[in-house]
Structure 1
Amino acid sequence: MIKIQLPDGSVREVPRGTTAFDVATSISPRLAAAVVVARIRPLRATANTEQAAAEEQASEASMYSASSNGERLVDLAAPLNEDVALELLKESDEAALRVVRHSAAHVMATAILELFPETKLGHGPATDSGFFYDVYRETPFSEADLAEIEKRMADVVARDEKFTREEEPREKGLAEYEKNGDFMKVHFIERFTKPGEEISLYKNGNFTDFCRGPHVPSTGRVKAFKVTSVAGAYWLGNEKNQQLQRVYGTAFFNTKDMDAHFKRLEEIKARDHRVLGKQLDLFSIQEVAGAGLIFWHPKGGLIRKTMEDWMREECIRRGYQMVFTPHIMRRELWKISGHDGYYAENMYPPMELDDAEYRLKPMNCPGHILIYKNSPKSYRDLPQRYAELGNVYRYERSGTMHGLLRVRGFTQDDAHIFCTPEQIESEIAACVEFAESVLHSFGFNEFKVELSTWDPKDRKSYVGSAEHWEGAAASLKKVLSAKGIAFREIPGEAAFYGPKIDIKLVDVLGRLWQLSTVQFDFNLPQRFELEYTGEDGEKHRPVMVHRALFGSVERFFGVLIEHYAGAFPMWLAPMQIGIVPISEKHLDYANAVKAKLEAAGLRVELDARNEKMNAKIREFTLQKVPFVLVMGDKEAASEAVSVRTRGKGDEGSTPLASFIERATTLVNDRKPTL
């Protein structure tokens, strides 16, 4: 007999080999019909973290792997052979949706092989928005092929084939896949399993796939799905390898949720910063100059100036000193910092000049370190906070650039804090508070936090001792806990020189964006032999905080465009007020109004063209100008303006002085709405 602990704390004794579905059935037939997958965790007196870590290392890093406490998802039909805590997940659980999507990927692979048996399969994971399957087929799939695949998927679902898990010796699986020319399956088996192990296979009908699972009980549980697109992808991301086809799809528990998803996609499309950037004349990417390089047009440049002015003023107010560092530096500097070794694939090749090799900077930190090191420091001088809006350059593959969101040259609002070990936690806390202020000031009221730590099993990717890494991570955890900020720890995602806090904002559509980061660094001060004289008169080594709050000006601006759909709040709008005189005889009054608005510090444009009033208003509206002021005889006689507010329409006539007070208050208070 084994013990099963349910979420309410109750414990049941059941025969070894009992399944999660058996438990669900014993509780309620309705529950058994609704449950999708099970989550289990071994019941142990104390967590055996070393064993759990070994289990995790042996499995593929995905949602199906065991977590650090041994928690994992299993099929409802999986026999339970040890004491476990058991959760039965229904459609309301996010993990259950990912299992449905992974099962939908298998349904799609089934359909593809039935229609195009010459196809070779790669893998088909679930994603945040659906799923995909990488396949190799010499003939590209057409739109008609995608429609046929979706139609055949419906047949597979209608057959309601059971998903069954089987295990076989690794060597047998390798031999079979090698015989059939399934080079991708061979790779996955060799990478994620060890000689002598059993591998898991999932079958539905005549289809078999190497897979860790879990899956829904049968194909009939994949009720709402759609094949959405196909794109090219190189095998293992290397352009020298075979060109694969990545077939995308999505799946939901019901058509209502799927319809809502596609409606949301339409909203996302309408907010695409690349489209709005062109429509509003904010920025461009010029093919003749190269991919991933941004040209800021006057309107976009004005918004950028406003963003940067705000950031510089805030930095100075918070005790930072503004610095500037060169765009290129000797390669030797990057060797000392470790970037030349640990970060070289993201850097541009060295440039050989007459005195040495130079490299474009991918980060500002070594430059700030040299400024710190330029003169002796005492404990009384610390902390030293250096801030820079510095241009950096990182190599991105030609197919990975995406508007402002992923570029090759960008401006990082970088800062580095050099402090004593005793000051580190207060400095990190101040950085986190600063990051919160940035997000709130630009209209983002929700965010999520991740703590990225090192992977002790991958020592080659990190510098420094285990003691330093554990101590640094503990400091970051302490700060977040003290501030009451919930966070998710992600092992293996730290920078090579230290752990970091990543703050991901949530936009108006609920999308997560990685922007702000705060990083603890105990390595670079050691590599550069930084010092300060302590109160005891002896030399001590400072520690260092890296922080970027916009992340990059370009990426933050792209997110702003999509968050506001180009309708920026008053303080950020490049043109805040459009003036429309009804006829030429009202131009004198319109110019007088313009002068008073500009004297109040407002950004104004007067449309003096000999065009119809409604055409002028429409043009300002298309440019998403916050206010359009119309003026004729009535307004000129009473020193008033007729106000049209973005998103609200005609608000009627108001005294000019009252409008100026309203407009300047919106700017000064940085209100997100009009």
Structure 2
Amino acid sequence: MDEKVLSCYRHSLAHVMAKAVIELYGPETQYAIGPQIDDGFYYDFLLPEGKTVTEGDFKAIEDKMREILKRKEDWTRKEVSKAEALDIFKGQKFKTELIEDLPDDEVITVYYTGDDYVDLCRGPHVDNSQELLSAAFELRSASGAYWRGDENRDNLTRIYAYAFPDKKALKAHKALIREAKERDHKKIGAQLDLFMFDETAPGMPYWLPRGWKLFNALLDFWRDVHEAHGYQEISGPVLSKKKLWETSGHWDHYMDGMFVIPGKDEEDPNTYALKPMNCPNTIKVYQTKKRSYKDLPLRYAQVDTIHRKEKSGELNGLFRVQMFRQDDAHIFVTEDQIADEIFDIMDVASEIYSPLGLTYTAELSTRPDDYMGDIEVWNKAEADLKAILIKKYGEGNFEINEGDGAFYGPKIDLKMRDALGREWQMGTIQLDFQLPMNFGMKYAAGDDTEKRPVLIHRAILGSFERFIGIITENFKGDFPFWLCPYQVGIVPIRESHNAYAKHVADVLKRAGVRVEANYTDDNMKTKIKHFKQYKDPYILILGDKEAADGTVSINIRGNKQLNDIPLDHFVAMCQKMIGEHSLELIETAD
């Protein structure tokens, strides 16, 4: 089914659900909004006092929806004035509020389903309910939702539903959802002891010992790639006076997203804020000395902790946090260096994504409504980025996202699909002519004049926290060998084998392999089960034969076995996977 048609079906089914709820719960039910979403639709209601919707009510609502569809009612679109709309929705406070927010001369459209249900909507919708009879839908959840996202407004009941062209598509999607739940990084993160959260620091992850090893393995890899591309790593303050953020423009454009430490009053210069971005720090480093065109491009990388204030309902594991480490880089270039530098950034992205089996596509985001600076500068920046993408991918082989750029410049977003086919916005490349202007940045050009550099903001992972959440779900916790917190678990069969086990552990550690061993008197199966729980790629079982022959027997993740492998051969296997950042485990003795 065409996406536009499917969207129309889903939106129409939202109206059918609203009609069903009103028929079941009574005409005093207040109905708010009901948009289509990626896999169905939802509708928000304020139910009559004392009434609720639980999972046990879903079947009754679904049955009522099917009953309504079998009535084969016509859908009628009607254009009305603001006054007429207010009269139609008299007594419906949410619809009334939406209408009152519209200009007096606005032409408003409403849709009737039969004669007894009307909704405020731009459409489009089906012409008759019988068009929806073949569609497959199923209610999936009910939760609370504040009206217009404001926790000080009415707490509504939001009912979600899946909707697909047929039962086969719905069944396939539900199977995908079950798999996604199995891959939930919050669930896997707890199972593998990677990270935790505490109510005393909402949205601010604690990295546990195993998780911190994984984090640092990723960070070391990131650093190696960037050093090879000529980046220098810096670090800056987490806390700065508001003067810095006023100059950068964040105070005017982003203050609601910042953690502010107020002074005596609003005008106190000693008001501070935790940094939501690293760019002003990097600019200050640039300005520590006079710069020449010979210094450019100048590439600074930065992995400092940053903070961004989020609404509590928006926090979601590692995906949406309030404290994280952006894998930032800021590059100062001349205008004629822009294209080459962005091509190099895309090479960096490929080098980081490839060892994880990830590929990406690009999307150009253009000037937002609250943009800062001269529109001609914006137009040039957008044209430059578009030309680069055409050269890189060809005309029409990238998306354009109108109005979603940063307030200081347009950007290229790098998007990838995971093992479940879900799309994630990962890296970003932002072209910025504004901050160099705000901070009065200069460099000495070859003709002895002073010129202003162009600033490129870029991240490849997005943030370490969010990226680790994504790849945890992508790999279902079965991380590649080079990234695993512990790469080898060692199981001496009996305590008499501990001496050889310690020798094997020492040899592996000297070779740069992350090892954990169990030297207790627990039985062998218990030890193996422990390491399997943490998904260690290789578990070495060491007994009399291995100790006598200087070999190891290997339980490979997934239960495949390799026996009588010389220790030096196993060490070479491990070093090969680490050095090559292999995606797959070596499973043969060759």
Q: Which residue of 1 aligns with 2:130?
A: 220
Alpha-carbon separation, structure 1, partners of 2:22 and 2:271 = 53
C-alpha deviation, 1:125, in angstroms: 1.1
Aligned pair count?
Answer: 575
Equivalent residue runs for 1:200-211 within 5 Å: 200-204=110-114, 206-211=116-121
Q: Which residue of 2 aligns with 1:645?
A: 556
Q: Which piece of structure 1 moves more, 212-221 or 607-616?
A: 212-221
Q: Which residue of 1 aligns with 2:39?
A: 129
C-alpha deviation, 1:192, in angstroms: 5.8
Equivalent residue runs for 1:414-493 within 5 Å: 414-445=328-359, 447-455=360-368, 458=369, 461-484=370-393, 486-493=397-404
Alpha-carbon separation, structure 2, partners of 1:193 and 1:643 = 72
CA-to-aligned-CA distance 1:620-656 (integer Å, 9 cap, x gap):
1111110111122222232222211112422343222
Counterpart of 1:405 in structure 2: which amino acid?
Answer: F
Equivalent residue runs for 1:218-367 within 5 Å: 218-222=128-132, 223-287=135-199, 289-352=200-263, 356-367=270-281
SS in 2 for 1:520: strand
With structure 1 as the length reference, what TM-score do the two structures score? 0.82
Counterpart of 2:99 in structure 1: which amino acid?
Answer: I
Equivalent residue runs for 1:118-157 within 5 Å: 118-137=28-47, 138=49, 139-157=51-69
Q: Which runs of 4+ in 1 moved over 3 A?
A: 187-194
Alignment counterpart, residue 495 of structure 2, candidates 577, 584, 590:
584
Alpha-carbon separation, structure 2, partners of 1:649 and 1:258 = 36
C-alpha deviation, 1:202, in angstroms: 4.1
CA-to-aligned-CA distance 1:57-77 (integer Å, 9 cap, x gap):
xxxxxxxxxxxxxxxxxxxxx
SS in 2 for 1:464: coil
Matched, 1:110 2:19: yes
Alignment counterpart, residue 505 of structure 2, candidates 579, 594, 597:
594
Task: Give structure 2 stretches of 5+ with no counterpart.
Answer: 586-590
Alpha-carbon separation, structure 1, partners of 2:574 and 2:44 = 54
Q: Which residue of 2 aligns with 1:100?
A: 9
CA separation of 1:475 and 1:202: change in aligned 2, threshold 3 A: farther
SS in 2 for 1:483: helix
Alpha-carbon separation, structure 2, partners of 1:600 and 1:282 = 24
Alpha-carbon separation, structure 2, partners of 1:355 and 1:498 = 28
Q: Which residue of 1 aligns with 2:325?
A: 411
CA separation of 1:189 and 1:435: change in aligned 2, threshold 3 A: farther
- The root-mean-square deviation of aligned C-alpha atoms, in Å, is 1.8
CA separation of 1:431 and 1:204: change in aligned 2, threshold 3 A: farther
Contact kept? 1:432, 1:518, Cα under 8 Å: no
CA-to-aligned-CA distance 1:193-234 (integer Å, 9 cap, x gap):
661524242424532212122223433343211111111111
Contact kept? 1:531, 1:541, Cα under 8 Å: yes
C-alpha deviation, 1:473, in angstroms: 0.7
Counterpart of 2:514 in structure 1: which amino acid?
Answer: R
CA-to-aligned-CA distance 1:337-384 (integer Å, 9 cap, x gap):
110001111111233289721111110111111111121111111111
C-alpha deviation, 1:505, in angstroms: 1.6
Alignment counterpart, residue 398 of structure 1, candidates 287, 312, 320:
312
Alpha-carbon separation, structure 1, partners of 2:503 and 2:110 = 78
Contact kept? 2:77, 2:109, Cα under 8 Å: no
SS in 2 for 1:574: coil
Q: Which residue of 2 aligns with 1:167?
A: 79
C-alpha deviation, 1:599, in angstroms: 2.1
Alpha-carbon separation, structure 2, partners of 1:411 and 1:616 = 35
Alpha-carbon separation, structure 2, partners of 1:440 and 1:193 = 52
C-alpha deviation, 1:615, in angstroms: 1.9
Q: Which residue of 2 aligns with 1:45?
A: none
Alpha-carbon separation, structure 2, partners of 1:404 and 1:377 = 39
- Quote the sequence identity (%): 41
SS in 2 for 1:161: coil
CA-to-aligned-CA distance 1:162-195 (integer Å, 9 cap, x gap):
3332333332112221x22x22223333456661
Counterpart of 2:583 in structure 1: which amino acid?
Answer: P
Counterpart of 1:449 in structure 2: which amino acid?
Answer: A
With structure 2 as the length reference, what TM-score do the two structures score? 0.94
SS in 1 for 2:16: helix
SS in 2 for 1:352: coil
Task: Give structure 1 stretches of 5+ with no counterpart.
Answer: 1-90
Alpha-carbon separation, structure 2, partners of 1:167 and 1:392 = 49
